[in-house]
Structure 1
Amino acid sequence: MSLPSKVEYALLALLEMASQPDLKKPLTVNEITAKQPIPERYLEQIFASLRRGGLLKSQRGSKGGYVLAREPQDITLLEIVSIIEGNRQIKENMDVSTVEMKLIQESWQQANQAAQSILGQYTLLDLCKQRESYIQQSLMYYI
């Protein structure tokens, strides 16, 4: 399984927003795309979905932009993925005509449940902390 680009861009943008010292200061799409390799028009579409999903608030005006609707520790990766991707689960009432199809369906459901469990354990704040840890490690140099 691969990480869809739409989810990757959403995570990059939200991580950028959650890493700001002042979480109440709105960030524009331009400010985020200047720091992260995200196409501007694509990010606008992603932000529209995140706003409708309740993760972002938009502010109009010359000092407008986007802010997180909740604190980073209250936003799980599962929420982000669910808003961007939707709830893509195998239909339980799917017509299973062969043993092989039943095995495939059961395996896929177990993988989906495991992924949801892991994504539900991590928050945006966890990503911010891990990012800071990686930055600190990369700043270490030896003489």
Structure 2
Amino acid sequence: MKISTKGRYGLTIMMELARNFGDGPISLKSIAEKNQLSEHYLEQLVAPLRNAGMVKSIRGAYGGYILSKSPEEITAGQIIRILEGPISPVDFTEEDDPAKRDLWVRIRDSIAEVLDSTTLAYLISFQDEGKKDNYMFYI
């Protein structure tokens, strides 16, 4: 399974909203500019997220989008499934060789476990930690 730009950019939108959770709505224009992405493409991606109840849109001059739940309650797996569909490395059937089918099921379940155990809160804390300036002073 290869995650397309839909999944990657959708995760970017959600991480930006998580980073600003509780501070009011964020415009897609600001997310697009900050991440050097197409605003038009982000508009296409936010629609399924809104329809799935992951984000809420706020109208008006200071409008934009907010998360509908806290970043601790939203997982990468939920976002990827909304934008990409079911998580599966290959299509397989019950008629497939049992050994290969077992391999595909284990791979699918491992990917799903990682995605489903990774929250937006974790992702933004991990990303924010990497941006801290660590100065080394020598005397």
User: Normalising TM by the smaller chain, what interval?
Assistant: 0.7 to 0.9
Contact 1:17 1:23 in 2 (8 A): no
Alpha-carbon distance, 1:3 to partner: 3.0
The alignment status of 1:6 with 2:6, answered yes or no, reads yes
Root-mean-square deviation (Å): 2.0
Q: TM-score, normalised by structure 1?
A: 0.85
Alpha-carbon distance, 1:135 to partner: 1.1
The alignment status of 1:127 with 2:120, answered yes or no, reads no
Q: How does 1:21-100 map to 2 (within 5 A)?
A: 23-89=22-88, 94=93, 96=95, 99=97
| Alignment coverage as a number of residue pairs | 136
Look up the equivalent residue of 1:135 and give its one-letter code. K
Residues 95 and 112 (structure 1 numbering): CA distance in 2 closer, same or farther, change over 3 Å? closer
Look up the equivalent residue of 2:101 and give its one-letter code. Q
**Could you tell me the percent identity over the aligned residues?**
29
Unmatched tracts of structure 1, length 5 or more: none
Look up the equivalent residue of 1:18 and give its one-letter code. A
1:25-48 C-alpha deviation (Å, 9 max, x unpaired): 111110110111321111101100
The alignment status of 1:141 with 2:127, answered yes or no, reads no
1:46-83 C-alpha deviation (Å, 9 max, x unpaired): 10010011100011121211110000000011111111
Contact 2:3 2:84 in 1 (8 A): no
Aligned to 1:19: 19
Q: TM-score, normalised by structure 2?
A: 0.87
Contact 1:33 1:39 in 2 (8 A): yes
Unmatched tracts of structure 2, length 5 or more: none
